[in-house]
Structure 1
Amino acid sequence: MAKFNDVITNREHFRDIMGEASELVTRKTLSELDNHCGVFINRAPFVLISSADGQGNADISPKGDPEGFVKIIDSKTLAIPDRLGNRRADTIENIFENPNVSLIFLIPGKSETLRVSGTAQIVRDEALRKSMEVKGKSPDFAIVVTVEEAFFHCSKCMIRSKLWQVDHWPSLDGLPRLAQTMVDAGKLELSESQMHDIVVNDEQERLY
C-alpha cells in the first residue's frame, strides 16, 4: 500500500486548515423531507445508495428507473424498488448487519443533487410492491428508508466535471466492455464475445 507524508489524523488539525462551515451551510440540513425534496425525488430517475456491513466494509450501488421510481411514503419514509440484478444483493446483505444508509439523488441536466441519510429495512409489503410495478412486474423487495437527514448539495462538482455537458464528455475509445472485465477478473473459461452475449441478453430480458 502506498505511503504518504503529512497525513491528517485528527479533526482539530483538519479544521485548522479547512476552517468551520458557515451557518448558511449548516442550517440547510433537514430532519425530514420538505416540499423541495419531494419535488426533486419525484423527478429523479437515478439514485446512489451507500451502505456498510457490520465491520464497516463500505459499498455504493446505483439504482435507476423512470423518474419518480423512489416512492415518498411520508416526510420521514422513502421506498426504493429492488429490481432484478445479479443476486449479489450487496446493499441488502449490508442492511441486515448495519441499517445505516445514505442516498444521492441525481436528475440529468440538474447541477444540484439531493443527499438523504437514515436507516433502512427490507420489506415485501404487497401493496407497496404493487405500486412500484413496471411493465406488469413488481419488485420482489423494497428498501424502505427512514429519513434522518436531508439536504441539497451545491453544483460545484457538476460545474468542475462538466458532467451534463455532452460536448465535454470524454471519449469511450479504449474502455473495456463489462464482459471483458468479468472474464479477466474471474479468469472465466469463456471468450469475451461469449460473455458479452450473456451480458446483452441479461440487459434485454431481465430489466424487470
Structure 2
Amino acid sequence: METAAAADPAGIVEVSSEAELRELIGEPSSHAANKTRHRLHDLDRQWLAHSPFCVIATADTQGRCDVSPKGDPAGFTHVLDDTTLVIPDRPGNKRLDGMVNLLGNPHVGLNYFLPGRGDTLRINGRARLLRDAPFFDELIVKGNRPRLALLVEVEEVFYHCSKAFLRSQLWNPETWQPDALPSRARIVKGVEAQEMPLAELEQHYGPRYAEKLYG
C-alpha cells in the first residue's frame, strides 16, 4: 500500500513541531494572544442578534472533521445567558454528520458572519443535542418548530480580523462570478445523481426550491 509520504510531490518540506512552526511564523502580539474571553459580552450579544449565518465545526472521536453552514433570519441563535446559547436545526439532507460527531465528541467551533463585514465572531465550546425544551417555541420560523437544537456551553469567545475577507474580496460584487461554474442542478447530475434526468433536477433546484426551506 502506497504511503502518503511516497505520494507527495518532490520538494515538499513539512513542518513537524510547534517549535518549528513558531520559528517560521513567530509569536502573536499580546493583543492577539490575550483576546480570548470566556463569557459573552453585550457586543457579542448584539453581533448574534444581527447575524443570519454561521459555520459549525465538529470532529468525531477519531479527529475527522466536519464543517456545516447554518443560516436563518438574523438573530437565529438564541442566547440563554452569558455562557449558553442555542442553535436551532432546520430541515436538511438528513446526513447529520456534525450531529453524530457531537454525540461522541462534544467540542464545537462556531464562526458567525455579518453580510458585508470582514470581521467575524468566533465561539468555541461544548455542545449537547436537545430534542425539546421550553424555549423551542421561541425558535419557530415560518411555522417550523425545530426537532433538534444545539445547546452550546461557551468556553472561548473572540473576534477574528478581516484580512481573509479583504484578500478574497468576498463581499465585493465586482468579483462575483456565480455563473463561472455549472448550476447546482448540473453539479448534482455530474457527481451525485447521474441517474436522474437533468430537467427534473433543474425543476427541483429552480425558483420553487426556496419555498421548501422550512417544509
Equivalence for 2:166? 159
Matched, 1:175 2:184: no
Q: CA deviation at 1:162?
A: 1.4
Equivalence for 1:83? 90
Equivalence for 1:204? 211
Q: Aligned partner of 2:126: which letter?
A: T
Matched, 1:186 2:211: no
> 1:46-90 CA distances to partner (integer Å, 9 max, x unpaired)?
000011111111110000111100011111111001000011111
1:107 to 83, 91, 114: 114
Q: Aligned partner of 1:124: which letter?
A: R
Matched-pair contact (CA < 8 Å) for 2:106–2:128: yes
Q: CA deviation at 1:137?
A: 1.9
Matched, 1:96 2:103: yes
CA RMSD, Structure 1 to Structure 2 (Å): 1.6
**Unaligned ranges ≥5, structure 2:** 1-6
Q: Aligned partner of 1:82: which letter?
A: D
Superposition TM-score, scaled by structure 1 size: 0.93
Equivalence for 2:66? 59
Matched, 1:36 2:6: no
Q: CA deviation at 1:2?
A: 3.8
- SS of 1:59's partner is strand
- SS of 1:149's partner is strand
1:124 to 110, 114, 131: 131
Q: Aligned partner of 2:74: which letter?
A: E
Partners of 1:80 and 1:166 lie apart in 2 by 30
Partners of 2:85 and 2:141 lie apart in 1 by 18
Q: CA deviation at 1:40?
A: 0.7
Q: CA deviation at 1:32?
A: 1.5
Q: Aligned partner of 2:66: which letter?
A: D
- SS of 2:137's partner is helix
- SS of 1:96's partner is helix
> 1:123-157 CA distances to partner (integer Å, 9 max, x unpaired)?
02342211100112211111111111010001111
**Unaligned ranges ≥5, structure 1:** none
Structure 1 segments of 4 or more deviating over 4 A?
A: none
Q: Measured at CA, do residues 10 and 77 of structure 1 come closer, stay the same or move farther in structure 2, by a change above 3 Å?
A: same
Q: CA deviation at 1:202?
A: 4.7
Partners of 1:2 and 1:186 lie apart in 2 by 29
Q: Aligned partner of 2:204: which letter?
A: I
Aligned ranges 1:13-24 → 2 under 5 Å: 13-24=20-31
Partners of 2:60 and 2:187 lie apart in 1 by 25
Partners of 2:144 and 2:99 lie apart in 1 by 20
Equivalence for 2:4? none
Number of residues paired by the alignment? 207
Matched-pair contact (CA < 8 Å) for 2:127–2:151: yes
- SS of 2:12's partner is coil
- SS of 1:188's partner is coil
